[in-house]
Structure 1
């Protein structure tokens, strides 16, 4: 089979299109013919050596959608999707024509999603689902998303809306604000850190009950915009990993910090998440993704370079 593979880390030039044996599923596994595979920033960082536990040689890629061609009878021929931390790091991932995963590590693909659409959602939506679940976003929750234009931020807002939360989006650029307003969201423009609390209070007079910072830079300001007994969920940090914020401000409000890391969940855990929110695509409660860039696996090296260069368009590799 054809696959992207790297034998060394540190440079995207180490990623090559290779001819590899088709994997053979072990007991309890399925063999998936990959129809589409999402390309995430974490896949690029993996090749660059940001994950020291990755074993080599390795096929990268976490998100996939495809058809089960070997495995338990109830899954044979089924269209499935999946993602998880056990792909692309210590086991070969989805940027290949075939993939083996535990049988419990796949979920039935929503009927309204194409393979390409399904493959674009794994990491962003499971990350967002974990964030809204663990920060207790429910009906009526005053929910602020910082960096709402990104894939995870957009997913979090869509999931929060399904739950009946009051959603407020925060972005940097006017054109981003206009796009979100067209989708029916209330939006504020991020400007100065010391004005965030006032901007939020103009919409949520008692502050935001949950703040999801997807940027890694707004945590200090988020504390001041938080409601009493509120929660702040974070998925990013500056390069050195350090952020200085007011612990006094946080504990006086009875606030909590929730760290969200998709790499804590294997394929089986992620499949359970996909099953829970996948039905919302079929019943029209979650938006079907658009503006996806399809690229054949043979052009995967260029796609990796584009993502590394800061391209914001979601790339889907087609084996």
Structure 2
């Protein structure tokens, strides 16, 4: 089969299109023919050596959608999607024509999503779902999503809206705000950090009960915009991992800080998440993704370089 593979880390030059044996499903596993596989920034970082537990040689790729060809009879022939820790890191991943994974590591693909659409959603939606679950977002919760224009931010807005939360997005550019307002969201355009509390107060009297910072750069300011007993969820941080954090202010509000890391969940745990919200696409409660760029797997190495260079295109690789 054709697959992208890297045999060393530290440079994208180690990633190559290779011809590898087609894997065979072991007992308790599935063999999935990949119809589309998402390309996430974490896949690029993996080849660059940011994850010390990755074993080599390795086929990267976390997110996929395809059809089961081997495994328990109840799964064979079913259209599925999946994501999670393992593929691309400690076992071969989805940037290939086939992959194997535990039988519980997939969920049925929503009928209303194409393979390309489903493959684009795994990491962003499971990350956002985990953030909302662990920070207690439910109907009526006043939620601020900082970076609402990004993939995870958009997923959080959609999932929170489906739950009945009161949702406010924060972005840097007026054009980004206009796009989100056209989708029906309340939006503020971020100004200086010291202005955030006032901007949020204008929308949410008493502050936001939950703030999800998807950028990693607004954590100190978020504390000032937080309601009493509020929760802040974060998924990113500066490269050096250090932030000047107003711990006393958080303490005085009785606040909680929640770190969100999708790589804490294996494919079985992620499949359970996908199963919980996947049906909402078919029920029309979640928007089907648009502006996905499907690229042949043979051009995958160039796509890795583009993402590393700052491209924000949502790319799925198609074997």
Q: Structure 1: which 4+ aligned runs deviate by more than 3 Å?
A: none
| Aligned counterpart, 1:283 | 283
**Residues 1-58 of structure 1, C-alpha deviation per residue, up to 9 Å, x if partnerless?**
0000000111111100000000111100000000000000000000001111111100
* Aligned Cα root-mean-square deviation (Å): 0.4
| Aligned counterpart, 1:302 | 302
| Aligned counterpart, 1:224 | 224
**Offset of residue 155 of structure 1:** 0.2
Distance in 2, matches of 1:30 and 1:215, equals 36
Distance in 2, matches of 1:245 and 1:29, equals 45
Distance in 1, matches of 2:100 and 2:5, equals 16
SS where residue 55 of structure 1 aligns?
A: coil
| Aligned counterpart, 2:260 | 260
| Aligned counterpart, 2:116 | 116
| Aligned counterpart, 2:270 | 270
TM-score, normalisation: structure 2: 1.00
| Aligned counterpart, 1:48 | 48
Distance in 2, matches of 1:70 and 1:140, equals 44
| Aligned counterpart, 2:189 | 189
Alignment: residue pair count: 319
| Aligned counterpart, 1:315 | 315
**Offset of residue 216 of structure 1:** 0.5
**Residues 185-239 of structure 1, C-alpha deviation per residue, up to 9 Å, x if partnerless?**
1100111000000000000011000000000110000000000000000000000
| Aligned counterpart, 1:28 | 28
**Offset of residue 245 of structure 1:** 1.5
Distance in 1, matches of 2:106 and 2:119, equals 12
5+ residue gaps, structure 2: none
Distance in 2, matches of 1:43 and 1:212, equals 23
**Offset of residue 255 of structure 1:** 0.2
Q: Does 1:83 align with 2:67?
A: no
| Aligned counterpart, 1:2 | 2
| Aligned counterpart, 1:164 | 164
**Offset of residue 143 of structure 1:** 0.1
SS where residue 197 of structure 2 aligns?
A: helix
**Offset of residue 72 of structure 1:** 0.5
Distance in 2, matches of 1:246 and 1:71, equals 52
| Aligned counterpart, 2:138 | 138
**Offset of residue 313 of structure 1:** 1.1
| Aligned counterpart, 2:245 | 245
Distance in 1, matches of 2:184 and 2:31, equals 41
5+ residue gaps, structure 1: none
**Offset of residue 127 of structure 1:** 0.2
Distance in 2, matches of 1:246 and 1:54, equals 35
**Residues 76-118 of structure 1, C-alpha deviation per residue, up to 9 Å, x if partnerless?**
1000000010110010000000000101001000000000000
| Aligned counterpart, 1:180 | 180
SS where residue 156 of structure 1 aligns?
A: helix
SS where residue 23 of structure 1 aligns?
A: coil
Distance in 2, matches of 1:235 and 1:176, equals 21
SS where residue 104 of structure 1 aligns?
A: coil
| Aligned counterpart, 1:101 | 101
Q: Does 1:16 align with 2:27?
A: no
TM-score, normalisation: structure 1: 1.00
Distance in 2, matches of 1:110 and 1:205, equals 38
